[in-house]
Amino acid sequence: MSSVIPNRPRIAVIGTGYLGTTQAVCLAALGFAVTAMDVDQDKISSLRSGLLPFYEPGLPELLQETLRTGRLQFSTEFERSADADVIFLCVGTPQSADSSAADLHFLDAAIAEIAPHLAHKCLVVGKSTVPIGTANRLRTLLQSAAPAGPLVELAWNPEFLREGHAIADTLRPDRLVFGVTSEWSLRVLRGCFAQPIAAGTPVIATDLATAELVKAAANSFLATKISYINAMAEVCEATGADVNLLAEALSYDSRIGGGFLKPGLGFGGGCLPKDIRAFAHRAAELGVGHAVVFLREVDAINQRRRQRTVDLITEMACGDLQEVKIAVLGAAFKPDSDDIRDAPALDVARMLHQAGARVTVYDPRAMPNARKSYPELSYAPTLASAVAGAEVVALLTEWEVFRQADPAVLGALVERRNIVDGRHALDAAAYQAAGWDYRALGTPAGPPARLLEPVMPEPARLSQPVVPEPALASAIEPV
């Protein structure tokens, strides 16, 4: 990797959480000189020595590589923003403690930290997910506090990266959205992302409010898709239909598509749940709450899947969870992450514990975080020790290691072969063949519907291949 490529803007990144660190490392990998800043001295020291404070596949290697080039630096001194041409704001916008609104105090604090040092023409770029109208407010704040006044411009470039795919989503995003107030800002942003743009990434250049709204709308749509299929799972449960086959059948319709149509325990994490709530809250403030009132139902469907999972486990425990030994496989809100924010798996584990069950949790990466937030639960160091003696096994985060486990080997370790697959991650037939009672959300108990064979002998005319008449064949052949 070469050192800094000349005549490129110098970049600062404010906030070294998940988003900021990924952004800083990826921009340094693209050849920019980057200084990433944070108030957290421990985090900065750890990053300086090449250690990531969270888990993300591939990122530790890229961090160490970019540190070696000298292009990437970490600092707690916000005056370093005085040297930057472009400053990315990558601080968190969590849910407020007392309402569903977004808590913007990290963003306000970031502006207050950097503004006094901005005595030169530069571009400040917000990446965090924010309520519509925030960028305009921050722009006024920034320009009134910065010595350079209106020479300091503000743009909004929402980030769509998924945990577990952070590098690919940053270096090869599906699209780039630039909310700008001038041609100059647009040119600067195009320069920062010249490489993905040259590789064909589409750019949507727009105003600040549209850019903010794209992110809220995208996450709301994704959450709605997940809750839609999970609502169908509820209907399947009442009818004996199979939600997996239903989702597959829907996915072949190119107007619907198969992405985010995986039924199960539903969505969690630091983004989708809080983003739909903050969006609904902001829409109500703007007097258009009725337009997104469906998001409340999206949230409610999602929460119901957690209770339904507890109910299914209770059924397997013959209606009483008291002292029942349950192995919970998974703690992270999704695989390939150690993030436990609003993790459905841990929420279910907590509910089971509160109902009197003896819950043991195992997760390949998220155990330290889980232990800190849920000290009341028990934790096992391995998959085998988690399931040992269990009366019900609940797979709640679909890590590959759980998919690969041999049902016969697990079966020899448990007290009773009861398994609830909260993520449709396991081979139901293989578990049933190994003597397990396999249950999942939205699919009937028993063999998967796809495997059902006709039980009655059928007339030959029903099993003969149908050959089109020659005169019609050309009409129905694809041209």
442 binds ligand UDX (CB under 6 A): no
Least distance between ligand UDX and beta carbon 270 (Å): 6
Any idea of the CA torsion for 238, 242, 244, 249, to the nearest 10 degrees?
-110
Interacting residue with ligand UDX among 82, 181, 260, 284 (CB under 6 A): 260
Is 272 within 8 Å of 223 (Cβ atoms)?
yes
Residue among 262, 306, 353, 424 that touches ligand UDX (CB under 6 A): 262
Does 226 help bind ligand UDX (rule: CB under 6 A)?
Answer: yes
Cβ-based nearer residue to ligand UDX, 8 or 162: 162
Please report how close the Cβ of residue 222 comes to ligand UDX at its closest, in angstroms: 6
Of 26, 90, 122, 271, the catalytic one is 271
Neighbours of 34 (CB within 10 A): 26
Least distance from ligand UDX to the Cβ atom of residue 268, Å? 4
The CB-of-19 to ligand UDX minimum distance in angstroms stands at 8
Q: Nearest approach, Cβ of 333 to ligand UDX (angstroms)?
A: 5
Minimum distance from CB of 18 to ligand UDX (Å)? 9
Residue 222 interacts with ligand UDX (CB under 6 A): yes or no: yes
Q: Considering the rule CB under 6 A, would residue 333 count as an interface residue with ligand UDX?
A: yes
Please say which residue, 22 or 185, places its beta carbon nearer to ligand UDX. Answer: 22
Q: For the CA atoms of 340, 344, 346, 351, what is the dihedral angle to 10 degrees?
A: 150
The interface with ligand UDX within residues 11-50 (CB under 6 A) comprises none
**271 assigned to active site:** yes
**Smaller CB separation from ligand UDX, 35 or 220:** 220
E strand or H helix at 301:
helix 294-316
Decide: is 341 part of the binding site for ligand UDX (CB under 6 A): no
SS3 at position 12: strand
Q: Is residue 261 close enough to count as binding ligand UDX by CB under 6 A?
A: yes
Q: Which residues, 6 or more positions from 406, have their beta carbon under 8 angstroms from its beta carbon? A: none
Mention every residue, 6+ apart, whose C-beta is less than 8 A from residue 201.
172, 173, 174, 175, 176, 193
Structure tokens belonging to residue 114 = 């950097």
Cβ closest to ligand UDX, residue 66 vs residue 302: 302
- What is the side-by-side order of every strand in the sheet holding 325-329? 378-379, 358-362, 325-329, 392-395, 418-421, 437-440
x/- site string to ligand UDX, residues 130 to 169, per CB under 6 A? -----------------------------xxxxx------
Total site size for ligand UDX, rule CB under 6 A: 20
In whole angstroms, the minimum distance from the beta carbon of 107 to ligand UDX comes to 17
| List of E strands, 235-385 | 325-329, 358-362, 378-379
Q: Is 164 exposed, middle or buried (0-12, 13-18, 19+ CB in 10 A)?
A: middle
State yes or no: residue 334 binds ligand UDX (CB under 6 A): yes
Considering only the stretches 97-105, 113-121, 255-263, 427-435, report the one whose residues sit in contact with ligand UDX under the rule CB under 6 A. 255-263
Residues in Cβ contact with 276 at an 8 Å cutoff, skipping those fewer than 6 apart: 219, 220, 223, 295, 298, 299
Characterize 61-86 residue by residue with b for buried, 16 or more Cβ atoms within 10 angstroms of its Cβ, and e for exposed. Answer: ebbeebbeeebbbbbeebebbbebbb
Return d(Cα 197, Cα 294) in angstroms, integer.
35
Nearest residue to 411 via CA among 430, 374, 436: 436
Under rule CB under 6 A, which residues in 267-286 are in contact with ligand UDX? 267-269, 271-272
| Footprint on this chain of ligand UDX (rule: CB under 6 A) | 159-163, 219, 222, 226, 260-262, 264, 266-269, 271-272, 333-334
- Kindly list the catalytic residues: 271
